[in-house]
Structure 1
Amino acid sequence: MAYGQKVFKVRNGKKTTKFTWRCRYKLPNGDWGSEPGFPTKAAAESWGEKQEAAIEAGTWIDPNLRKTKFGTFARTFMSARKKRGRTVGTRWDNLELHILPRWEHTAMGSITWFDVDTWQQSLPVEDVRRGHCVSLMSTIMTAAADAQMIPVNPLFARRRTRDTSDDESTPKEPKLSRAPRPEDAILLAERLGPVRGLHVLTTAFCGPRWGEGLGLTRERTLLLRREPWGTGEFVCPILRITREIAEYQKRGPDGERLGYVLQEEPTKNDGSTRDVDVPPFLALLLSYHLDDWPYERPFSTSTGKPWRRGNWSRDFRPACDGRDERAKRQGVSFRAEWEPILPGLDMRALRALHDTLQSQIGVKEPLAYEAAGHRRPGIKRHYQKPTPDMRQERLDGLEDAFRTAMASLGMKTLWGRVDLVKPPKEDDHQNIAQTISMDEYRGARRVPSPRSGRHYRSQASG
């Protein structure tokens, strides 16, 4: 039974006649709990009776836990909830740069949605980063509710207020002046050379993410998909995406910086692990590349190591944005001028080009989501599955898009050495077994390098 107890104030080491009331109440383990600071005995006893009623109902929250500082629990949360390396780094960046400076010493039980919503509007960052910060705070508060530190998460399912001032409501300049085209990918690939160029074409026509492309190995490149199709069999080359290369700032259990790492990891989710059908022209180019490339990873540096983003950008950005001519002088070689292809173009935009092409050629939703590595929302993902007809339709559409782009550019070869001869197309897909194999592609004529007699080795560095 809860009861009130007088607590006399002390001044200069001596007890005075002034006092407040402290509540004493039974804890779930049978010990006596204490809560001071009540003005009257009735208020103390009423508060204690409510605590004992909540304890009996199993809904009690320890008042001492409600006083836990947000920063203290956030560090506990980060050490307990393991995520992929790059996700951990991004979370720590948001905590250290934006969240903890405002909320580190705030008691969990005193955080309100009004205060959080007001704070996020004042953050001097882009709106999407504000959303990430609020989302991370909400995730931590939900974990605190699960740990019975607070009764509920006050941030759950709340809609942020957007800043509608003139500066924020003014439309932002688009990163790209227009949407990328297949012609842009081909021109960029031609300019970068066969090794880097193949990475560009694979991203534009198969859609792997940056890390997924780097994570491909020989044993997962140009495998064959085999499925029954009518009275025959559907066979096509695939890229098996199960791993990716991640580059990020590694963090210790308490958020300490341990330096940047570049390492292989599983794909980000189950939807990202997939087999992507490869159109014939790209399968042909990849087969030549694998013949000549001496390293395990098809898309790597000239020494076989995974690309770092900064190193990749040194050649990729000038190829997209253009560069000035550099005259030859002592110790410096001549460098030709490059006209811009599409300023601002990046690998993410090339991945988006693949999905745009899928929409343009009418790829059915089950296959479009699968090829892009996206998890299709809704119940339909359990009912609708890709069929060989859908797969052939996608391959034909991507092949035609590539051929049309080559024709519009007036190009018949890539890198001056590969003559792309279009393989014959069967008229009756249902009655003839389709075998899109490397043997068929090798029937196309290849033009060897005049210097090395090989197809790609002389330009391995791009």
Structure 2
Amino acid sequence: MASAEKRYKVRNGRTTKQFTWRARYLKPDGTQGSEPGFPTKVKAEEWGEEQERKIREGTWIDPDLYRSAFGVFARKYMAERPKRGRTMDTRWDNLDRYILPEWEHAPLISVTWFDVDSWQMTLPCDDVTKGHCVSLMSTILTGAVDARWLPINPIAGRQRTKAVVHTPAFASAAGDEEKTFTPEAVLQVAERLGPAKGLHVITTAWTGVNWGEGLGLQRANALAKRRQPWGKNSFWECFVLRIVQEVAEYEDRDEHGKKLGTVLRLEPTKNEFRTRDLDLPPFLSRLWFQHLADWPYDFVLSTPTDGKWWRRSNWLKQLRPAADGRPERKKRQGVSARPEWKPIATGMTMRGLRHTHDSWQDEIGVRAALAFEQAGHKRPGIKRVYQHPTPTMRQERLDGMEEIFWQAMGNLGWTSLWGRVSLVKPPAEVDLPNLPQTISIDDWRQAKRGYRSRSEAM
């Protein structure tokens, strides 16, 4: 039974005649709970009785918990709800840089949508990051509701207010040019980088594999085969790169968010849509055959010197001069001569090449079911359930990608890459000891003419 007791105020160490009422009630664990500051005995008793009613109904939340600081529960949530390493690094980065400086000491119960919305509009970052910050706050507050630290999440499902920006209608035109690159530019950059690094660039542009997925590709998953029924008694086949994992580079942290240093770790793909087989155009499968014949390491897009995963910073030291150009360097003691490189595709990135690939898919009219699959994206709507890629769709896509390559090669006046990989005449037979089987001339000819049906008894 709830009760109330009189509490006299103390001033300068002496009890005064002024008083308030403190509510007393029984907590679920059998201990006494209390709440001070009521002006009358009746109000204190009513408040205590309300707490006991909620306890009986199973809806009670300890006032001490919902008055806890947001930062306290945020750290508890991050420690008890781990995600993939890269995701955790991004979350901690947003917490440390934007969220906690504002909300670290705010009581959970004091958070309102009006304050959060006003705050996010003032953040010194791009709009996508603002959205991520608000989304993370909402996720944490939902966790507080689930943990019975908060009665409701006040920002769940709310739409952010966007800042009013007056931008000329033509301002986005220049930005679009920097998001995609011509096939000629991709090939020229790849030629500068050499066979191993250049193949990574070409593969990204012609398949859409992302950076981490490429680093995580192992020999066993390179040049697998897709086989689908086609026609009455035939099958359609093509070579694929099987994406089942990726390498993530991020700032490792302990359960309290303390930085422990940058790490590279192998992780599962981001979601079920990113686990996929990437169909290879004929020219690209031939380049991959040649690459695997030479490559001594298990991770097939790793560093040429020791087979380790690339760090982004080290890769950019290779890509930037190849794409942006570099000045000539004269020979001097201890330093070799280096020719000048003119700019080819200033600002090229691996992410930009992934954008380029998806843009090429749209350019050649790849059907949505196949375009979403190859990009590793979740297709929205009911069509994701009802529409699936067919061999005809796949063949049309490969024909289009092959045509983009050969047209670019013709525009450049090239018939080979890196002065060592012929794209015109296949060898009579190539024995690849690093592969589980011998690659015969039939495989090379199939790659040269494109993937078609093979008649076999059903």
TM-score by length of structure 1 reads: 0.88
Q: What is the SS of the residue equivalent to 1:149?
A: coil
Once residues 334 and 445 of structure 1 are traced to their aligned partners in structure 2, the CA distance between those partners, rounded to angstroms, is 40
Tell me which residue corresponds to 2:195.
194
Once residues 417 and 441 of structure 1 are traced to their aligned partners in structure 2, the CA distance between those partners, rounded to angstroms, is 19
The answer to whether the aligner puts 1:181 opposite 2:182 as a matched pair is yes
Equivalent position amino acid for 2:20 in 1: T
Once residues 439 and 383 of structure 1 are traced to their aligned partners in structure 2, the CA distance between those partners, rounded to angstroms, is 39
How many Å apart are 1:168 and its aligned residue? 12
The answer to whether the aligner puts 1:320 opposite 2:309 as a matched pair is no
Once residues 178 and 117 of structure 2 are traced to their aligned partners in structure 1, the CA distance between those partners, rounded to angstroms, is 34
Tell me which residue corresponds to 2:300.
298
Question: How well do the aligned residues superpose, as a CA RMSD in angstroms?
Answer: 2.4
Give CA-to-partner distance per residue, 1:341-372, whole Å, 9 cap, x none.
Answer: 12111000111111111111121222111111
The answer to whether the aligner puts 1:413 opposite 2:410 as a matched pair is no
Equivalent in 288, 299, 311 of residue 314 of structure 2 = 311
For structure 2, the 5+ residue unaligned runs are 427-438, 449-458
Tell me which residue corresponds to 1:276.
278
Contact 1:287 1:438 (8 Å CA) reproduced: no
Contact 1:247 1:260 (8 Å CA) reproduced: yes
Once residues 380 and 312 of structure 1 are traced to their aligned partners in structure 2, the CA distance between those partners, rounded to angstroms, is 39
Give CA-to-partner distance per residue, 1:98-156, whole Å, 9 cap, x none.
Answer: 21111111110111111112222222222222221111111100100111111111111
Once residues 183 and 441 of structure 1 are traced to their aligned partners in structure 2, the CA distance between those partners, rounded to angstroms, is 27
Change (3 A) 1:91 1:445: closer
The answer to whether the aligner puts 1:390 opposite 2:408 as a matched pair is no
For structure 1, the 5+ residue unaligned runs are 424-436, 447-462
Change (3 A) 1:197 1:271: same
How many Å apart are 1:178 and its aligned residue? 6.4
Q: What is the SS of the residue equivalent to 1:8?
A: strand
Contact 2:282 2:447 (8 Å CA) reproduced: no
Equivalent in 359, 372, 377 of residue 375 of structure 2 = 372
The answer to whether the aligner puts 1:335 opposite 2:338 as a matched pair is yes
Tell me which residue corresponds to 1:257.
259
TM-score by length of structure 2 reads: 0.89
How many Å apart are 1:277 and its aligned residue? 1.0
Q: What is the SS of the residue equivalent to 2:242?
A: strand
Change (3 A) 1:8 1:438: farther
Contact 1:284 1:438 (8 Å CA) reproduced: no
Equivalent position amino acid for 2:422 in 1: D
Tell me which residue corresponds to 1:76.
76
How many Å apart are 1:177 and its aligned residue? 4.1
Once residues 443 and 177 of structure 1 are traced to their aligned partners in structure 2, the CA distance between those partners, rounded to angstroms, is 37
How many Å apart are 1:165 and its aligned residue? 5.5
Once residues 200 and 290 of structure 2 are traced to their aligned partners in structure 1, the CA distance between those partners, rounded to angstroms, is 14
Equivalent in 244, 249, 256 of residue 246 of structure 2 = 244
Tell me which residue corresponds to 1:21.
21
Equivalent position amino acid for 2:192 in 1: R
Tell me which residue corresponds to 2:290.
288
Change (3 A) 1:168 1:118: farther
Equivalent position amino acid for 1:256 in 2: K
Contact 2:180 2:353 (8 Å CA) reproduced: no
Tell me which residue corresponds to 1:112.
112
Once residues 407 and 66 of structure 2 are traced to their aligned partners in structure 1, the CA distance between those partners, rounded to angstroms, is 65
Tell me which residue corresponds to 1:433.
none
Change (3 A) 1:265 1:80: same
Change (3 A) 1:174 1:396: same
Tell me which residue corresponds to 1:458.
none
Once residues 282 and 125 of structure 1 are traced to their aligned partners in structure 2, the CA distance between those partners, rounded to angstroms, is 39
Once residues 176 and 85 of structure 2 are traced to their aligned partners in structure 1, the CA distance between those partners, rounded to angstroms, is 28
Tell me which residue corresponds to 2:431.
none
Equivalent in 347, 359, 366 of residue 356 of structure 1 = 359
Equivalent position amino acid for 1:403 in 2: W
1:200-239 aligned within 5 A? 200-230=201-231, 231-239=233-241
Contact 2:183 2:405 (8 Å CA) reproduced: yes
Give the count of matched residue pairs. 433
Once residues 149 and 110 of structure 1 are traced to their aligned partners in structure 2, the CA distance between those partners, rounded to angstroms, is 13
Tell me which residue corresponds to 1:427.
none
Tell me which residue corresponds to 1:428.
none
Q: What is the SS of the residue equivalent to 1:335?
A: coil
Q: What is the SS of the residue equivalent to 1:340?
A: coil
Contact 1:176 1:342 (8 Å CA) reproduced: no
Once residues 175 and 93 of structure 1 are traced to their aligned partners in structure 2, the CA distance between those partners, rounded to angstroms, is 29
Change (3 A) 1:405 1:438: farther
How many Å apart are 1:418 and its aligned residue? 2.2
Once residues 403 and 357 of structure 2 are traced to their aligned partners in structure 1, the CA distance between those partners, rounded to angstroms, is 13
Tell me which residue corresponds to 2:455.
none
Contact 2:179 2:356 (8 Å CA) reproduced: no
Once residues 169 and 257 of structure 1 are traced to their aligned partners in structure 2, the CA distance between those partners, rounded to angstroms, is 43
